[in-house]
């Protein structure tokens, strides 16, 4: 059993749950956090049934007090340290598609709050508990590089995640902590199926690899970035989209 403690936000379902499962399978102790506490508890229970050490936490990643409480609780779970932080929590499927002139400013603020402010607040709260060799993995999106009409708030928030990743890499590098981002392409999760009827075939024709992206395709990248083998990689964004675009 690994001595590492891994925090995954937004882990009640979808890609976040897949990340939690992936780290648990590697033997890590997993802190499952989500604003949906019941969903987080279900994920943690499933991990424990598989033999992993896991605990669920409720958190609002837009709230400094909530993220501070989470940091203290997860550090206690991890015997004083948090070795890996996966900032996965985001608003995605419920984001409305509108021309940029018609986006509701309240929705803009909500998307920015969860998708961009969230990773900043979570990492800020966790920072005192990150030892040398810790890893921070932020979730961006491949749509940052291609653009997506009528989705300015979502694309801008995920572009901000890349910028934040670079700054955090500079600031935490002196402590031997790496910070990287993953930019997935369209990946088949519960949320993605809810977006469109043709989710399984969407974008497949544009990829070099002619199949849809599964959560496991993204999980492997996170496991690598959180591994000792990735100790000299920081401030980078890894696009995982089956070769639909090259940057």
> Which 3-state string (H, E, C) describes the chain?
CCCCEEEEECCCCHHHHHHHHHHHHCCCEEEEEECCHHHHHHHHHHHHHCCCCEEEEECCCCCHHHHHHHHHHHHHHCCCCCCEEEECCCCCCCCCCCCHHHCCHHHHHHHHHHHHHHHHHHHHHHHHHCCCCCEEEEECCCHHHHCCCCCHHHHHHHHHHHHHHHHHHHHHHHHCCEEEEEEECCECCHHHHHHCCCCCCCCHHHCCCCCCECHHHHHHHHHHHCCHHHCCCCCCEEEECCCCCCC
Residues 86 and 102: their CA atoms lie apart, in Å, by 33
The pLDDT, as a whole number, for residue 190 is 60
Domains, the chain, ranges and CATH?
5-240 (3.40.50.720)
The pLDDT, as a whole number, for residue 202 is 57
The pLDDT, as a whole number, for residue 245 is 79
Q: Which of 154, 193, 202, 232 is catalytic?
A: 154
Q: Which residues of 202-214 are buried (b: 16+ CB within 10 A; e: fewer)?
A: bbbeebeeeebbe
| Predicted TM-score (pTM) above 0.75 | yes
**For each of the chain's 247 residues, which pLDDT tens digit applies?**
578 999 999 999 999 999 999 999 999 999 999 999 999 999 999 999 999 999 999 999 999 999 999 999 999 999 999 999 999 999 987 888 889 999 999 999 999 999 999 999 999 999 999 999 999 999 999 989 988 888 899 999 999 999 999 999 999 999 999 999 999 976 555 655 455 555 555 555 665 665 566 778 899 999 999 999 999 999 999 999 877 777 7
Q: 202 catalytic, yes or no?
A: no
């Amino acid at each position: 059993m690994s001595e590492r403690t891994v925090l995954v936000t937004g882990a009640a379902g979808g890609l976040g749950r897949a990340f939690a499962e992936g780290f648990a399978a590697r033997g890590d102790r997993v802190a499952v956090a989500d604003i949906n506490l019941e969903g987080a508890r279900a994920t943690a229970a499933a991990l424990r049934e598989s033999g992993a050490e896991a605990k669920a936490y409720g958190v609002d990643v837009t709230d400094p007090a909530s993220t501070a409480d989470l940091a203290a609780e997860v550090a206690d779970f991890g015997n004083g340290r948090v070795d890996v932080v996966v900032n996965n929590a985001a608003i995605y499927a419920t984001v409305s598609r509108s021309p940029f002139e018609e986006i509701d400013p309240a929705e803009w603020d909500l998307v920015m709050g969860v998708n961009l402010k969230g990773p900043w607040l979570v990492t800020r709260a966790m920072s005192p508990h990150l030892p040398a060799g810790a890893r921070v993995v932020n979730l961006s999106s491949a749509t940052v590089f291609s653009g997506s009409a009528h989705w300015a708030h979502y694309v801008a928030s995920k572009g901000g995640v890349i910028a934040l990743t670079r700054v955090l890499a500079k600031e935490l590098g002196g402590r031997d902590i790496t910070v990287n981002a993953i930019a997935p392409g369209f990946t088949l999760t519960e949320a993605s199926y809810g977006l469109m009827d043709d989710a399984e075939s969407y974008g497949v024709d544009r990829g070099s690899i002619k199949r849809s992206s599964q959560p496991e395709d993204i999980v492997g990248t996170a496991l690598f970035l959180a591994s000792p083998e990735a100790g000299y990689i920081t401030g980078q964004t890894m696009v995982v989209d089956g070769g639909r675009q090259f940057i």
